[in-house]
Amino acid sequence: MTTKTVKNNEENICLGKQGENLCTEIRFPIQEDLRDYTARLYICPGDGEGYYTDNVIQAANFLTLLVTDRETAAPGSGKMQLSFYKGNTIIKSQIYTYFVTKSIC
pTM of the model: 0.83
Give the torsion through C-alpha atoms of 72, 25, 11, 6, to 10 deg. Answer: -170
Phi and psi angles of residue 33, each rounded to the nearest 5 degrees, phi first: -75, -5
The predicted-structure confidence for 19-51, as pLDDT tens digits, reads as follows: 877 778 999 988 888 888 999 999 998 777 888
Q: What is the separation, in whole angstroms, between the first and last Cα of the chain?
A: 24
DSSP type of residue 101: E
Residue 35 located in a structural domain: yes
The amino acid at residue 75 is: P
- pLDDT band, residue 105 (cuts 50/70/90): low
Residue 105 located in a structural domain: no
Residue 104 located in a structural domain: no
> Does 104 have pLDDT greater than 70?
yes
Residue 15 located in a structural domain: yes
The predicted-structure confidence for 80-99, as pLDDT tens digits, reads as follows: 999 999 999 999 999 999 98
Distance CA 10, CA 100 (A): 16
Residue 50 located in a structural domain: yes
Number of structural domains in the chain:
1
